[in-house]
Amino acid sequence: MYFIKPTDPNPITPAKAALLSLLCLVWLSTGLIGHDPWKPDEAYSFGLIYSMLRSGDWLVPTLAGEPFMDKPPLFYWTAALLAKLFSPLLPLHDGARLASGFYTALTLSFIGLAGRKLYGDNRGWAAAIILMGCLGMLVRAHQMITDLALLAGCAMMLYGFAMSQERALRAGLWIGTGVGIGFMSKGFIAPIIFVLMAASLPLLFQNWRKHYYYRSLGIALLFALPWLTIWPMLLYLYSPQLFADWAWTHNLGNWISFAKSGPNKEAFYYLENLPWLAWPALPLAVWIVWKSRKRLGQRDDLQLPLVSFAVMLLTLSLAANIEEVFALPMLLPITLLATASLSMLKRGAGNALDWFGIMTFALIAIAMWWGWAGLLLDNQAKITHWLKEFQPGFEPELHTTPFILAILATIVWVVFVWRVGRSMRRATLNWASGVTLIWILAMTLWLPWLDSGKSYRNMVTALKQSLPKHYQCIAGERLGDGQRAMLHYFGNIITQHDTKHRCDLRLIQGDKLSKPLLDETRWEKIWEGSRKGDKNEHYRLYRRV
């Protein structure tokens, strides 16, 4: 690298490294077990995993018995293996969610390695801590979603690119592996990002026009090739129609059709939402870019995250589907830029961020304790009435172990922020610890309340009890993928797309006031219900007369 990395006056001692490891472990493991698959993303993801475990078909992802060719199956393979491995100890959905922890741990590790390679030996921990503190990671990093495997793949790519000017073999290994993991998790988005990054860096900056860099790219293609070819080839040999459905209908063809329509207002979605998704890393990243704007041509440690962010923003903004969760890869280069700013920010800025974080998380923690106590004591506070209205029918109970864990986490956090001194790096550490505290309180005190509104278990149980003993099949109308998956998991109920109207039962989703489009002289309603507190999803079960 041409930029000389500054020496850190406060090196990471073994004791500090142990403390940081413990913080990462607590943040990472909290919330991975102890609750049902939540709507919408976890529900359909686990449906694919559960179908894989039940059918034994690991080549073609299926949902409730039907092929689901939206994404390649690497994440589902990992989750199914972990669910099976831990099945004696954990419910299948909790075991499967450990895959999220596995890929998030990979992400933290490789973004730390990239930060260390770019900015110095003591910047690896800072990069991991800053990424942990990003608000967009808080919930998504603990969900059963394929985007976490793509995130791990992108972190590997960035680490490989960071060393591509010096160690071609190692750089090619991690770049190619990252591309492969991303491809086998989300499809063509990872190879597209790789190609655009590989071409843009030497095109824009002379520092990247080295034979080591080009050799790294060649080696990366060799390592990526098995990932890019084996599963698609096996899928094509198994069923050319399913291969075309995956490659064209759900991926390339879908993107081309969207591109032909031209950009729309959704193309600016990520620019509008990144300020909160990437907080507090984004303002630090913007500051270092502005501060170094006249030296960007010499600072290849800033060129890599800048180019990768621009490539990711452009690629994801022009994709057919735009959602908040798809912005996760952009947090990686923003995190690296924020890591670069730590050695240059003034103490006043660090103190301001530190006190803002401490006061913010202290107020949120007080509100969470107060709201939980209000529910438990059934007081007449406005927040208690609002919480009851949001989850009608929820009966709060005092669970001893979560209560003790919540108290311990609160006390430890208070002692932690009281004892830790003031600096820019400590400000990011205190922010990450505050995020961890709020997540612990949510997953201990508030988990039953959250689970009551996001789980399909009770609804499916009530439906199953109302099913007749003998029926031919159940036709599902207006059911989403998540609902069909949870019907299969909790009730062993498989719904079909009954285009020929052969099924003698029909399960219809709608709102509570709407009337289903059925001939009531031919169909008899035998059950009606919904999840607690859900006013949008209402279900009716009909039997042919």
Segment 433-440 mean pLDDT: 96
Find the radius of gyration of the CA atoms of the chain: 25
- Region 152-173: mean pLDDT is 95
Distances (CA, A) of 199 to 2, 109, 172, 202: 20, 26, 15, 6
Question: Is residue 419 located within the same domain as residue 485?
Answer: no
Instruction: Determine, yes or no, domain membership for 410.
Output: yes
**Contact yes or no for 60/242 (Cβ under 8 A):** yes
Does the pLDDT value for residue 441 go beyond 90?
Answer: yes
Q: Looking at the structure, do residues 400 and 423 belong to the same domain, yes or no?
A: yes
Residue pair 462/529 in contact (Cβ under 8 Å)? The answer is yes
Residue range(s) defining the domain that contains residue 358: 347-454
Rounded CA separation 291/366 (Å): 38
From 401, 431, 454, give the residue that closes a domain: 454
Phi-psi region at 120: left, alpha or beta (left = phi > 0; alpha = psi -120 to 50): left
Region 306-318: mean pLDDT is 94
226 lies in the same domain as 274? yes
Q: Are residues 227 and 322 in the same domain?
A: yes
Query: What integer best gives the mean pLDDT of the chain?
Result: 90
Q: Are residues 422 and 439 part of one domain? A: yes
Which residue, among 275, 279, 272, has the nearest Cα to 353 in the 3D structure?
279
Residues 261 and 137 in one domain: yes
In a domain, 166, yes or no: yes
Question: Of the given ranges (146-155, 305-314, 514-523), which has the lowest mean pLDDT?
Answer: 514-523
Which of 318, 341, 364 is where one domain is finished? 341
Q: How many domains does the chain have?
A: 3
Q: Are residues 98 and 188 in the same domain?
A: yes
Same domain, 467 and 447: no
Residues 412 and 363 in one domain: yes
Q: Return all residues near 18 (Cβ < 8 A) that are at least 6 apart.
A: none
DSSP state of 122: G
pLDDT score at 257: 75
Residue 8 lies in a domain: no
Please state the three-class secondary structure of 423-440 as a single string: CHHHHHHHHHHHHHHHHH
Question: Would you say residue 210 lies in a domain?
Answer: yes
In a domain, 190, yes or no: yes
State the pLDDT at residue 3.
Answer: 47
Query: Which residue carries 């009730």 as its tokens?
Result: 491
How much is the average pLDDT of 319-329? 90
| Maximum CA extent, the chain | 81
Residue 10 lies in a domain: no
What does the DSSP 8-state code read for residue 252?
I
Q: What is the mean pLDDT of residues 126-146?
A: 95
Which of the 8 DSSP states describes residue 70?
Answer: S
pLDDT at 364 over 50: yes
- What confidence tens digit (pLDDT) does each residue in 459-479 have? 999 999 999 988 889 998 888
Instruction: Mean pLDDT check: name the lowest of 54-63, 195-204, 347-356.
Output: 347-356
Same domain, 425 and 443: yes
pTM exceeds 0.85 for this model: yes
The confidence score (pLDDT) of residue 93 equals 96
Q: What's residue 535's pLDDT?
A: 72
Half-sphere exposure of 394 (CA within 13 A, CB side): 29
User: pLDDT at residue 261 above 80?
Assistant: no
- Whether the pLDDT of residue 332 is over 90: the answer is yes
98: its two tokens: 């450990």
pLDDT band at 386 (very low <50, low <70, confident <90, very high): confident
pLDDT value of position 343: 79
Exposure class string for 429-448: b at 16+ Cβ within 10 A, else e: bbbbbbbbbbbbbbbbbbbb
> Which secondary-structure segment (H or E) carries 138?
helix 135-138
Find the Cα–Cα–Cα–Cα dihedral 78, 81, 495, 237, rounded to 10°: 70
pLDDT digits (tens, 9 = 90+) for 6-58: 555 566 778 888 889 999 999 999 999 999 999 888 999 999 999 999 999 99
What integer pLDDT is reported at residue 21 of this predicted model? 92
In a domain, 382, yes or no: yes
93 or 416, higher pLDDT? 93
pLDDT band at 327 (very low <50, low <70, confident <90, very high): very high
Q: Is residue 11 part of a domain?
A: no
Q: State residue 90's pLDDT score.
A: 96
Task: Give the total residue count for the chain.
Answer: 545
Closest CA to 195 of 165, 226, 224, 162: 224
What three-state secondary structure class fits 496? strand
Domain end marker among 397, 430, 454: 454
Residue 220: what pLDDT?
A: 97
Same domain, 439 and 326: no
Same domain flag for 447 and 488: no
Q: Cα(269)–Cα(347) distance, rounded to whole angstroms?
A: 34
